[in-house]
Structure 1
């Protein structure tokens, strides 16, 4: 019989709570019109992000608000101002908004200098955007007149419920300006359009961070490409061993430098592509439509953002191609050095064989001389013995000492040869025993 089991009794995956919370980590916030919004994004490293989280948590204890469970999203109230704080992988955003004085767009000075808002920057500033959200009572042409006509972009958004205007240019206070005219009723819808518009501005700026890195890397790449071209040309010329070693060392240093450059730029180029994809995604979510003769956000960014991303991609491809060229050159040079080494080893072995044959001939000559010397010595002893026997009268009358000496010559030669062969055999045996040891 099956028994019902309470959900709490099931063992849960350690990441289940974080996964469920991620879907609700950064909700769209209602945004009443009119509203003026100041959006800041700061580049933060690990230490800066940790310090900023501690600072924002201290603020949260003193001001009413609602924090996400992962502590990466927070809203707080400071009188007439609302703060939306978000922390991402490599940047942190502060978004301040208020309805006070929002009836006339872009009519207020810098709120930081005027003291309307005050906070500590957690890192280096990347994005500063002044966004004005107004209702449908504002004339679209009047709003368009507030921007630079040469770079003005105007789109319909959210299936005609809103219009978004921007020129992506800095004003006198260092803010890029955006305006949203929300034609329909609904604070949540206005907040959704505003957040997506601000994300487009944030992500397109972050995507462009790869372009300065690409420009810095290009001169280094050109110098490396010229060097590898010169080394490759030198490889086709006849070089001595010392020159080849120098070229191989230069190639090894060049490979290390190219890998270091690729490692330095890999994260930034990858991040630029990711942010570029997010820009396209947010533009799709805006559901933009063309408004009259105005340029759309997608068309403007395609003409300016896409070439920057392609530049990053081209530099990254050049880095990969350079590393491949250097590796091929190193392989080619090592192959040449291997062939040269094998040729030298072959020549050395030939010399050793010639020396061994010469040594063998010398050894045989020495052995022959030694045999002759030993035979002469034995023959002398035979003559001495034969003379003594003759003087003692022990020889037959028909024989003389000289005849006895002559007859002992073959025996002396045989004895000498056997003795030298024995010595050679013992020498070979001793050499084999040394090799075994």
Structure 2
């Protein structure tokens, strides 16, 4: 029997794990995204799950599976959709009724205030969405609801709906989007549009989190750039020691590597989130409405420059780190040259000392020949005196006759000993 891969069903079901909600015309939705202040590596998913269960228990709703990363179910007279992402969790409440006062925030009150106060993180994004049927008075309603200077409006998905939003945060802390639907637009399609708008706003916010860090890093990189340029210029200076240069270069390199390590995750995530924003807008298939800017045009004017700033700072950090490594190579070359010169001087000094030792050795050998010869002559004189007396030779004559042959013999012996030692 053919066996299945143990993860076959899990991976297949994951493709269908987050269905779009069904939402009819004349309805509302409230969206909330919560993120911890630190990065995802330290995120407490157990606390996020406990916070969800605390909300469900308020309304007697069923709990999700222990390892679930998403949930959809009834929450009193509303419906709740919960999703756990890499860095944040989202809550979306859907209501099948439409408040008479647009964007009054009443639907957001479905989240109990004390429950919000106990959230294991900070509010990343909160959105109010209003779904109404399309009518001739859309321009008037947009004028009343949104800030005209930043308003983005477009007709989407082949004319099936009109979406609008100004990407501003109102006095209650919510962003607001309006959806005006054609009469024949299905509930699932409305739900997809709502989901896409929530994702656009959330991913945009996640992408923008890197901008303050990029600005702070940019100011620091300007100082490091000046220090590194001055340091490279001083590599040719003979007045500055290599040890001092190395210490400063190590400090610069350490700062750059630390900055890169701390910013890599955030900048990498920003690149991914910004790509998601572009993809979500692209699938809307926007067409201009009433001469207003589209969502894509708004992002091109307001969002893209921030992303380019982040990319520029990231590339600048990498370029400075590479410059620091090249400066280290130059310093290493300088140290190698200095070491070779120092070794050359040391070898010359050793040669000079060896020559001096050789001359001293020769001098000592000469003196030793004289000293040994002196004692040898005395010994020969004492040994030869009894025989020399018979021939009438005094000690002085015997000593004089023995000096030359004895010295030659001593010199020959010392020379042989030295040759054998060499």
What TM-score do you get using the length of structure 1 for normalisation?
0.87
Partners of 1:133 and 1:228 lie apart in 2 by: 57
8 Å Cα contact 1:40/1:95 also seen in 2: yes
Q: Residue 286 of structure 1: SS of its match in structure 2?
A: coil
- Look up the match of 1:408: 402
Q: Does residue 416 of structure 2 align to residue 417 of structure 1?
A: no
Question: What secondary structure, in the 3-state scheme, does the structure 1 residue paired with 2:218 have?
Answer: helix
Bigger drift between 138-147 and 128-137 goes to 138-147
Q: Secondary structure of 2:155's match?
A: strand
Q: Is the 8 A contact 1:66 1:76 kept in 2?
A: no
- Identify which of 34, 41, 61 aligns with 2:26: 34
Q: 1:385 to 1:185 in 2, by over 3 A?
A: closer
What residue is the counterpart of 2:160 in the other structure?
161
In structure 2, how many angstroms separate the alpha carbons of the residues matched to 1:238 and 1:110? Answer: 74
Q: Distance in 2 between matches of 1:164 and 1:321?
A: 42
Change (3 A) 1:110 1:139: same
Q: Report the equivalent of 1:226.
A: 226
Q: Describe how 1:31-430 pairs up with structure 2 within 5 A.
A: 31-44=23-36, 45=40, 46-57=42-53, 63-64=60-61, 71-109=68-106, 111-112=108-109, 119=116, 120-137=118-135, 139-145=137-143, 146-183=145-182, 184-240=184-240, 243-391=241-389, 393=390, 395=391, 403-421=397-415, 423-424=417-418, 428=421
* 3-state SS of 2:167 partner: strand
1:386 deviation in Å?
3.5
- 3-state DSSP of counterpart to 1:200: helix
Q: Cα–Cα, structure 1 residues 214 and 288, in superposed 2: closer, same or farther, change >3 Å? A: same
1:63 touches 1:76 (CA, 8 Å); kept in 2?
A: no
| Structure 1 residue 213: Cα displacement | 1.1
Using the TM superposition, give the Cα deviation of residue 89 of structure 1 relative to its aligned residue in structure 2, in angstroms: 0.4
TM-score (norm 2): 0.90
* Contact 2:28 2:107 (C-alpha < 8 Å) held by counterparts: no
Distance 1:200 1:68, change over 3 A: farther
- Tell me the secondary structure at the aligned position of residue 414 of structure 1: helix
User: Considering only aligned residues, what root-mean-square deviation do their CA atoms show, in Å?
Assistant: 2.5
How many residue pairs are counted as aligned between the two chains?
414
CA distance, structure 2, for counterparts of residue 68 and residue 198 of structure 1: 25
CA contact (8 A) 1:196 1:285 kept: no
User: Contact 1:386 / 1:405 at 8 angstroms: preserved in 2?
Assistant: no
Distance across 1 between alignment mates of 2:114 and 2:375: 122
SS at match of 2:191: helix
Unaligned residue ranges in structure 2 (runs of 5+): none
Q: 1:82 to 1:199 in 2, by over 3 A?
A: same
Rounded to whole Å, the distance in 2 between the matches of 1:401 and 1:408 is 10
Q: CA deviation at 1:185?
A: 3.5
Distance in 2 (CA, whole Å) between partners of 1:287 and 1:214 is 32
Q: Distance in 2 between matches of 1:288 and 1:142?
A: 21
Q: Is 1:17 aligned to 2:17, yes or no?
A: no
SS of residue paired to 2:150:
coil
Q: Is the 8 A contact 1:65 1:75 kept in 2?
A: no
